[in-house]
Amino acid sequence: MMTTRRTILGAALAGAAAFRLAPARAAAPEQATIALGVGGKPLLYYLPLTIAEQKGFFQEQGLNVTINDFGGGAKSLQALIGGSVDVVTGAYEHTIRMQAKGQPIQAVIELGRFPGIVLGVKKDLAGEIKSPADLAGRKVGVTAPGSSTNFFVNYLMAKAGADPQQAAFIGVGAGLSAVASMQQGEIEAIANLDPVISKLEADDAIAILADTRTEEGTKEIFGGSNPAAVVYLKTDFIEANPNTVQALVNAFKQALDWLATASPDDVVATVPEAYYLGDRDLYLRAVAASKETYSQTGIIPPDGMQSAYNMLQQFDPELASAEIDLGKTFTDRFVVAAG
């Protein structure tokens, strides 16, 4: 076969792309075996985690990562504070709330720049529940009480002039259990993410009240950007294990870079079939709809941190009087080093 200049150039470009997808391996991790907590791993909110796992990016960085999937983000946070996991992929808001409680944790890379959370109501109740304020006295399904889905509804209710404590929040998980809870009438409204929301929409089971799967929807609700999933750890772990943290961030950055150019079909071919919720085509559409939610840089912008803080202050009285240093909730040094 004749080798042409175009062939050589194409190979060079492919090699360059592969190089960009593979950050330099960090120095030997101080702790190579890592326990990671997540609340609802099959959710598209946490897709970068599954990509890092399935594509072998953790192993490339010298890490052996055991993933513990909990019912919601609040439970994975509890596991971190309790010491049963070393690192969490979870909502950025937890870094703010824990600082107020005197338990410092810090995010080291942003995975999602929009929350991707959707609030929907049971279709036959759409005439009664027209606003988040109408959720007072209603049963609202969230991934787990105290998780980002719960915070989202709290914020929307407070913003609408209602008391979030008047709603009954019920943990329904992040998969088929959440779908079944709505379909069986166990809840009257739901705050969840894709593919759960796309499944309920396809079944014509819900009417949408609020949607943060797009930049436009996020700005309409929060007035600006609002960081979503991040990777966070206790600050003392970060200080004691910088090489381990760098290796983790390298792997997650590699996953974000892969997602930036991957097609929905590439994603569907990579994740476990159980993620489809029994409908591959629906999952494919959900992936396509969620593509813009993922972080493009891995770095949380200052206005995003402020937006999250402002949201929490709307309904969390503890934060109304607390002095929060947002600069301590996220460090970009590992993302910058990952390149």
Q: Residues 2-25: pLDDT tens digits?
A: 333 333 334 343 444 444 455 667
| Topology of domain 118-211, CATH | D-Maltodextrin-Binding Protein; domain 2 (3.40.190)
Strand partners of residue 33 = 64
Q: What number is the average pLDDT over the span 259-273?
A: 97
Using CA atoms, how far apart are residues 304 and 287, in angstroms rounded to an integer? 24
* CA neighbours closer than 13 Å in the CB half-sphere of residue 16: 6
pLDDT (mean) for 273-292: 92
**If you average pLDDT over residues 50-75, what whole number do you get?**
95
- Read off the pLDDT of each residue in 163-181 and give the average, rounded to a whole number: 95
> Which CATH superfamily, name and number, covers 5-114+226-338?
Periplasmic binding protein-like II (3.40.190.10)
Q: What is the pLDDT of residue 25?
A: 75
Pairwise CA distance, residues 71 & 175, whole Å: 10
**Residue 22 has what DSSP assignment?**
S
22-36, 58-72, 149-163, 323-337, range with the lowest pLDDT? 22-36
Whether the predicted pLDDT of 35 surpasses 70: yes
Provide the whole-model pTM: 0.88
- What's the whole-number average pLDDT of the chain? 91
Which pLDDT does position 16 carry in this prediction? Answer: 41
Whole-number Å distance between alpha carbons of 318 and 118: 26
Give the H/E segment covering residue 59: helix 57-60
Say whether 118-211 and 5-114+226-338 share the same fold.
yes
pLDDT of residue 225: 84
Residue 173 burial (CB count, 10 A): 22
Distance CA 304, CA 114 (A): 10
pLDDT per residue as tens digits for the range 116-157: 999 999 999 999 999 999 999 999 999 999 999 999 999 999
pLDDT of residue 320: 80
Tally the C-alpha atoms within 13 A of residue 130's C-alpha that lie toward its C-beta.
2
> Whole-angstrom Cα distance, residue 190 to residue 140?
5
% residues pLDDT > 90 (the chain):
84
Instruction: Report residue 64: phi and psi, to 5°.
Output: -115, 100
- Whether residue 181 has pLDDT greater than 60: yes
- Can you give the pLDDT at residue 224? 83
Per residue in 296-324, pLDDT (tens digit) is: 999 999 999 999 999 999 999 888 888 89
The residue that leads in pLDDT, 233 or 213, is 233
Q: Is the dihedral of CA 126, 130, 136, 141 positive or negative?
A: positive
Per-residue pLDDT averaged across 189-208, rounded? Answer: 95
Query: Considering only CA atoms, which of 228, 221, 230 is closest in space to residue 153?
Result: 221
Q: How far apart are CA 217 and CA 211, in angstroms?
A: 6
Spell out the domain ranges in the chain.
Answer: 5-114+226-338, 118-211
Structure tokens at 206: 């819900």
pLDDT of 24: 66
Given pLDDT bands bounded at 50, 70 and 90, which one contains residue 72?
confident
Token pair 């705050």: residue: 191
Residues in the chain: 339
**pLDDT for res 13:** 38
Percent of the chain with pLDDT over 70: 93
d(CA 88, CA 333): 18
Residue matched to tokens 């175009």:
6
